[in-house]
Structure 1
Amino acid sequence: MVTFKKASVLLSATALSVGLLAPMASASTFGNERMETLPIQVAQTNTTVTKNDLMKRFRELFPSEFQNVTEKDFRMGSGFSRPKDTTERYELNFSKNIDNQYVYGSFIFVGETLELEQFHYQPITSKDVLFPAKYSKDEAQKVADKYMERFDKGGDYELVPNEYNYYSSSILTQPVQYSFTYMKKKSGVTISDQSISIGVLGDGTVTSYYKTTQNGTGNFTYDDPSKKQSESVIAGRLRDALKAQLSYQIETDYSTGDYTVKLVYQPNSQVTSGVHALTGEWLTTEGLSSTLSNQAITPIVTGALAAKQPNLTSEQAKAMAQKLLATDQKGVKLSIESIEETTTETGKAVYNIQYMYQYRNGGTGTVLTIDKVTGEIINYSDIKNSIEVQEDDSNTKGELTRQQALEKAIAYVKEWVPSYANQYALPVDEGFYENYNDSYYLTFPRIVNGLTVVGDQISVSVDAKTGDLLSLYVNAYDDIEWPAATDILTQQDATKLLKNQLKLKLQYVNHPKVENEQHYSLAYQPVFKEGSNAVIDAKTGEWLDAYGMASSDKPTIEHPTAAEELNYLIHAGILEIDKTFNPDAPVTKEEALKVLLKSVTYMYYNSRYNEFETTNQSFTDIAPDHALYPFVTRALKMGMLDASTKTFNAAASLSNQELAKWVIGSLKLNKPAQLSDIYELNYSDAAQVDKELRGYVALAYAMGLLEAENNQLKPKSEVTYAQLAQVTIRLAHKMNEYQIDNY
């Protein structure tokens, strides 16, 4: 066995493929949203399209773009994006070093006509793409609209409003990226699984394009919109059935690795699946139903079961993996590549087992994760059906009902994760049926104090034809303090809030259990204030976003010199303010450090890298259990801080000369800055600069990171929020210019 680089076990079935292509996927579910595993594209050897054919088509579509790359820079690939998708795809890609920057492009064409399905382009970065970007969102949208006209002439698409994309969520050293999604329409009604997504950089460069393509013959039928029931009738039915459900919701702070719990209300999941617009029946996993199921919270088993194999050794883990992953596919050989002992994001000791299915033309693999303490599976995904060595010509559809699949899933939980079974409930929602691989996807939520837990569940996928286990994933948290359900909104009040915000969205859905696979049904689906996964804080009554943050509108402030910078930081969630916020007030060292780090580095805590363990240099007043500890540790690692002062004094105000030291350290210029005697400071108050900080101050002002007023440095003056915002933007630009990455 060999050693390999650590990879997150939280990413379910991220496949590692040799000679393969894995393009993006788009999945449509009915009231359920989950992270979709990227499909695996297997290399083919019988392609009939040549590189010249693809280059000709490429130049037809992009006659004036990409002039800095030539045909010799391109490589060609081909294959299928999904095991059961017979649409042939061909890829052109290039990578090239231009002006000491890495430039990359990938283009995928489909079918005999070589229609452009998607492309991704990483161009040379210029200052125009950084905040404040050259193009506003409205200007970028005009660019995207022109692309729609160019590649989809005559197509009936409608832009989906994106109210939450104030700016890209990337750090300030990365380009501003605007994203636009257009939904296809039929008879004026959007089609849920037909869309085009376009990404535009801050300088107006289009860097991504993805168009979903339909499976099947293309001879699709659609419900007649003139036969739909009135929206008011369906809305009344939904309101009558709507009921707020109290749950726990786990929220993780990715900058520290800590997690907390909130009590929240959500709409009952059966309602969110929607209603058939013609019949008025409920959409369910099994098709249409005249009644709603009322699933009680019931444990999988009533009594605790023994762990599968306590205190698992590495050799036992290998044996377990070989048994679970065994295959009898002709020409395919299982290879256990490596076994790594590590910990998950939630602190569990596990074995990460990297394996490959090797075959004549390559190999496909991923990671299996097993709990070391219990000997139970934490993360498993069956990728054998992604191997196209021996194709299955059978077109047999699923034979299991949802109930039969549920019984299989329960059996797998008892077999592979028995010690969890009494802590988790039977599914309280329908789950959903995956049409492309004939499988049922079911989730078993954790139960605490009689309530389900959002964000802590066992997910199981079962083959609808054979009942085989396709995937199993346990997302379990330990050592959590569960708040009591006291001083909260009543269920009646929460239900009223949901009903007051309820709206209906009419769209076409390709439901696998309604009519046939080539038919699109009209469906009314409920939409609440923050989308179909509406969540209300049970304590405050506020609507929460996907990250558990209050979704009330963030303020836009005014300031004579730093309004744009401050509003960016506020709307990006970097700077949190309240009604008393004064942009000209002094900022503390603690707040300044958080703003800077969140702006120029991704503050994602990873326990398996032991990233925030005590370092050789630290501050005596910032212990490992201090809330600022991860920020201080990251800043020390980056060179932004050093521990020469022994204490950090988080509550103290930050001075101009201290800020100068921080920004110069972030640019990796500590050594030249320490040569304080070589610098001249031609400012009237230069004598006020501390000797050991003279070089830092000289460099910071000379580089334009800090600015003097009336020939004065004011080295010991307190930095205001407005000044910090401006310096933060300048620092990000310099880090980008010097290609300093602090991920």
Structure 2
Amino acid sequence: MKWKLASTLSITSVIALSGLASQVSAAEATETTTVIEDVEEITEAAEQGDVSKEQLIDRIKEMFPDKFAEGSDEDFHMEFYSHYPEEENTEFYNIYYSKDSMNANFEFTSEDLELSHFSFHSQENSDALYPPEVSKEEAREIAVEFINELGYGSDYELNESAADRYYYGTNRPLTEPVEYSFTFNRLENDIPVTDKSIYLSVYGNGEISQFSSSNPHESAQYESTNNILDKNTLLNKLKDELNIELQYIVLPDYTTGNSSKAYLTYREVPTVDGISAKDGKYYINGEYADEITDSGQQVKMLTGSSKEAAPITKEEARQLVEGIMEPTVDGKTLHIEQVYERVYPDGTEVFDVNYMYMDDNGGFGSAVSVSKNTGELLDFYGEAGTNGSEQAETEISKEDALEKAVEYIQEYAYVNMEEYAYPVTSNDMYRSYNDNYSFNFPRVKNGIIVEGDSIRVRVSNSDGSLLSLSKDRSNITEWPAADQAVNEADALESIKDKIDLELYYINENSDSMKEESQTLQYKLSYLRADSDNPLFFNAVTGEWETYAPYIESPDGTNQDIHVNHQWAEDELNFLINNNIISVEDLNNFDGDAVVTKGEALEILIKSITHVYEDPYFEEQPDSPFTNIEKSHPLYPVIIQAVEMGILDTESSTFDVDEPIKTEELSAWYIHTLGLEYVAQQHDTFQYDFEGADDISDEYRGYVALANSFGLLEYNDGNYFNAQDEVTYAQLATENIKLVKLISSEKFEVYY
């Protein structure tokens, strides 16, 4: 925890005894020195561009006069570079701003200094936290105005239908700013262009937080809009020719990451990604076809490996990784930093081998997960550090790359490989922006493809070396039988009802972008407008269900999740929608119900920081409480609370089911602020409210401090009810006040 005290508090003399402010100042000074040294190196290497630093600063101040007008030359640091193979003839100018607790990054292209990327962050962001100062509608107006100021207004249109949802495997704390996201589509002949969009975000205080746009290609030709085929005609034709078959979907528990259940669904075979707006041909598996052929996708299974699984030690895991990685990359030497042992949520025991490529100027690295019981790779990423990574003069074919991928599975992911099939669809075989090959080998169970279980292999296009490998295999024992599925004809009709098309310009020859003076050809095509639908058809129940818990941007008006309350309705809904409060039955949720200690602790920790259920790089510590084992659902929360100093371990047990009282919650709040030492000086405090005699001795100082900060205040009758049991509504509103306090300019706490 880092914290800063910038002004006096109500109990000034006692706080002054702690001397904590000077400690923070010294720490901050040390951090600043390190950053400046790095900046000087970047600046020296950056003065070679055609555009000067002064020109970029002037451009920034022109675009953001209110925010950066007072910035000096020393506050800006410049770097000149070109990147991305397909844009090798485009110059990019990167300059970043850093002053006090605020920083921003800018990227401009060409001598016209067209803004392509921008991001802004300030540690003093309390005005952007919940409750937001601007609504989503007001933020939309700000976004549109900014786009118009950049001169994009006539070429771009706000995509009102863009999904403003994002998935969380964890909570979104109250300490993170409210942020509204918007997408603007590039238009040509009033038709959106697929790879020319602008993404923009606005903080809850109305400030632009992020901006990103694709760099327009110098030369592009767009297909004529004459003789476009009718959308409804093509849509009906697609529905008439559609084929489906059964498929499994494995959905994880998004709290723990553990694969929890297998569902039976129907999928299209083959999947039609789009239809040409000119000739009506179907776009299937990366190619155009005149018709949809039934059973066009044959499943070919991998052959089992002769290599036998065997348990390995930490040292053997280290040696395995050393054998895969290059000893040196770009002058940097491989170092195996540490090998940790941990357990996946599904019980799989693994070794995490952490590696770094280092030289005197720093380095880079990652981690490799190796199964302790089988010795196979479960998760490997070595993009820049694998054997055979030297650039070859010739490029290998897709067929050769696929053969290499299978060899890597036989060598490193051999256990149960006979349960997996060769890539089936175009989505299982593709080339990334740098042209390396990516393959997805889906698992097959009971003759049915399993979505969510697969082996993913990435192979270098230059020499076939292994770049990455990851393997998923759920330990699910109950799989719905095919004969449990609803009638295929009924399912097909339900699926047809969800299908829709939308007209786009699409770039079908992106590989040619690397060729100098190549003109991009944009073709008109109807794309699937339902491809991002977060629903799947449950073949057993015949109902549509969501793939995962999802939430909308936190504007407090989520219509998907809503509970009622007389005076804390907005606060409760915001915390529920951001996965801070967990509710199993929304229809029967009572905001005035008493909160248990376990629930209150979880809600508090999730209000101020992210809760990660499975520590990645560290072995799980023993629980400080005899009644809380590592398997307990609140174990991660309790461990974080102890490590953050919020929960003490003087008692051998922690009663998660006991109601939380106001006085104990006060203590948690003061521990959160890091002022427990001050609270211990309670003999010097004056209690100017009724009910002080009801406060337990161990909590007297905590209650006084919390009360002085405006937290858990006494009622209108000047009476503080120390023994009252806290409700969900009270906890929600008080947590919001706590976060506003610790994020303010006067008093800041960083977790």
TM-score, scaled to structure 2: 0.80
Matches within 5 A, 1:563-578: 563-575=569-581, 576=583, 577-578=585-586
1:148 aligns with 2:151: no
Percent identity between matched residues is 28
CA contact (8 A) 1:508 1:520 kept: yes
Q: Which residue of 2 aligns with 1:722?
A: 729
Residue 590 of structure 2 is aligned with which of 552, 567, 582? Answer: 582
Aligned runs of 1:450-469 on 2, under 5 Å?
450-463=447-460, 466=462, 468-469=464-465
Match of residue 510 from structure 1 = 507
Q: Of residues 697, 706, 728 in structure 2, which corresponds to 1:700? A: 706
| CA displacement at 1:443 relative to structure 2 | 0.7
Structural mapping, 1:317-716, within 5 Å: 317=320, 319-322=322-325, 332-333=330-331, 335-343=333-341, 346=344, 348-350=349-351, 352=353, 354=355, 356=357, 365-367=364-366, 369=368, 371=370, 373=372, 376-377=376-377, 378-383=379-384, 400=397, 403=399, 405-419=401-415, 421-431=417-427, 432-434=429-431, 436-463=433-460, 466=462, 468-469=464-465, 471-477=467-473, 479-485=475-481, 489-490=485-486, 492=488, 493-512=490-509, 518-528=520-530, 531-532=532-533, 534-537=535-538, 543-545=544-546, 547-548=548-549, 554-575=560-581, 576=583, 577-610=585-618, 612-615=620-623, 617-618=624-625, 620-709=626-715, 710-716=717-723
Residue 40 of structure 1 corresponds to which residue in structure 2?
none
Task: Kindly state the Cα deviation for residue 184 of structure 1 after the two structures are TM-superposed.
Answer: 0.8
Deviates more, 1:469-478 or 1:439-448: 469-478
Which residue does the alignment assign to 1:116? 115
2:437, 2:459 within 8 Å by CA — same for their partners in 1?
yes
**How far did 1:70 drift?**
0.9
Question: Does 2:185 match 1:183?
Answer: yes
Is contact 2:181–2:201 with CA below 8 Å preserved after alignment?
A: yes
Quote the Cα distance in structure 2 between the aligned partners of 1:297 and 1:167. Answer: 31
CA contact (8 A) 1:243 1:267 kept: yes
Q: 1:438 to 1:127 in 2, by over 3 A?
A: closer
Alpha-carbon spacing, 1:318–1:596, altered in 2? closer, same or farther (3 Å): closer
Letter in 2 for 1:231: K
CA drift at 1:722: 1.4
Is the contact made by 2:343 and 2:350 (CA closer than 8 Å) also made in structure 1? no
What's the RMSD between the two structures over aligned residues?
A: 3.8
Question: Would the aligned equivalents of 2:318 and 2:336 in 1 still touch at CA under 8 Å?
Answer: no
Corresponding position of 1:741: 750
The CA deviation string for residues 66-98 of structure 1, in whole angstroms up to 9 with x for no partner, is 12421122111121221342111111112222x
* Structure 2 CA distance for partners of 1:495 and 1:687, relative to 1, 3 Å: farther
1:740 maps to a residue whose letter is V
Q: Find the residue that maps to 1:506 and give its secondary structure.
A: strand
Distance 2:638 2:661 in 1: 17
Between the aligned partners of 1:641 and 1:229, the Cα distance in structure 2 is 66
Give the CA deviation at 1:430.
1.3
For residue 508 of structure 1, give the secondary structure of its aligned residue in structure 2.
Answer: strand
In the alignment, the residues of structure 1 paired with residue 671 and residue 404 of structure 2 have an alpha-carbon distance, to the nearest angstrom, of: 58
How is 1:44-83 mapped onto 2 (pairs within 5 angstroms)?
47-83=49-85
8 Å Cα contact 1:612/1:630 also seen in 2? no
Counterparts of residues 127-166 of structure 1 (less than 5 Å) = 127-161=126-160, 162=162, 164=164
Q: Deviations over 1:686-721 (max 9, x none)?
A: 322222222222222221111322222222222222
Map of 1:90 onto structure 2: 93
| Residues in 1 aligned to 2:303 and 2:750: alpha-carbon distance in whole angstroms | 49
Match of 1:10? none
1:610 is displaced (CA, Å) by 3.7
2:285/2:425 contact within 8 Å kept: no
SS of aligned partner of 1:623 = coil
Partner amino acid, structure 1, of 2:208:
V
Q: Kindly state the Cα deviation for residue 62 of structure 1 after the two structures are TM-superposed.
A: 3.5
Aligned partner of 1:231 in structure 2 is 231
- How far did 1:132 drift? 0.3
Q: Measure the CA separation in 2 of the matches of 1:389 and 1:426.
A: 28
Relative to 1, partners in 2 of residues 1:124 and 1:467: Cα closer, same or farther, differing over 3 Å?
Answer: closer
Structure 1: gaps spanning 5 or more residues = 1-17, 21-42
Contact 1:382 1:469 in 2 (8 A): no
Query: What SS does the corresponding residue of 1:227 show, helix, strand or coil?
Result: coil
**How many angstroms does 1:166 deviate by?**
10
Deviates more, 1:501-510 or 1:513-522: 513-522
Work out whether residues 131 and 172 of structure 1, in 8 Å CA contact, stay in contact via their aligned partners in 2.
yes
**Taking structure 1 as reference, are residues 477 and 669 closer, same or farther at Cα in structure 2, changes over 3 Å only?**
farther
Alignment CA distance shift 1:355-1:584 (3 Å): closer
In 2, Cα distance between the equivalents of 1:573 and 1:542? 25
**Secondary structure of the residue that 2:749 maps to in structure 1?**
coil
1:302, distance to aligned residue in structure 2 (A): 4.3
Give the superposition deviation at 1:350.
3.7
Cα shift readout 1:166-223 (whole Å, capped 9, x = no counterpart):
99974101221222111111122211111111121111111221111145xx322223
Assess, with a 3 A threshold, how the Cα gap between structure 1 residues 584 and 334 changes in structure 2: closer, same or farther: closer
Q: Distance in 1 between matches of 2:133 and 2:56?
A: 33
Per-residue CA deviations over 1:369-392 (Å, capped at 9, x if unaligned) read 36365555531344489x9999x9
Output one character per residue of 1:462-492: Cα deviation in whole Å (capped at 9) or x when no partner.
Answer: 455x562463321335655444448965263
Partners in 1 of 2:487 and 2:534 — Cα distance?
Answer: 17
Structure 2 gaps of 5+ residues are: 1-36, 40-44, 513-517, 553-557
1:660–1:700 contact (8 Å) kept in structure 2: yes
| Local SS of the residue matching 1:69 | coil
Question: Which residue number corresponds to residue 103 of structure 1?
Answer: 102
Verify the 8 A CA contact 1:341 1:349 in the aligned structure 2.
no
- Say which SS state the counterpart of residue 567 (structure 1) adopts: helix
Q: CA deviation at 1:148?
A: 0.1
SS in 2 for 1:116: strand
2-structure distance, mates of 1:94, 1:194: 27
C-alpha change, 1:164 and 1:207, in structure 2 (3 Å) is closer
Name the TM-score, length of structure 1 as normaliser. 0.81
Asked whether the equivalents of residues 159 and 181 of structure 1 are also in contact (C-alpha less than 8 Å), the reply is: yes
Once residues 274 and 695 of structure 1 are traced to their aligned partners in structure 2, the CA distance between those partners, rounded to angstroms, is 67
Q: Secondary structure at the match of 2:301?
A: coil
Per the alignment, in what secondary structure is the counterpart of residue 422 of structure 2? coil
Equivalent residue pairs, number: 679
Distance 1:407 1:581, change over 3 A: same
Give the structure 2 partner of residue 260 of structure 1: 260
**3-state SS, counterpart of residue 58 of structure 1:** helix
What CA distance in whole angstroms lies between the structure 1 residues aligned with 2:67 and 2:706?
A: 39
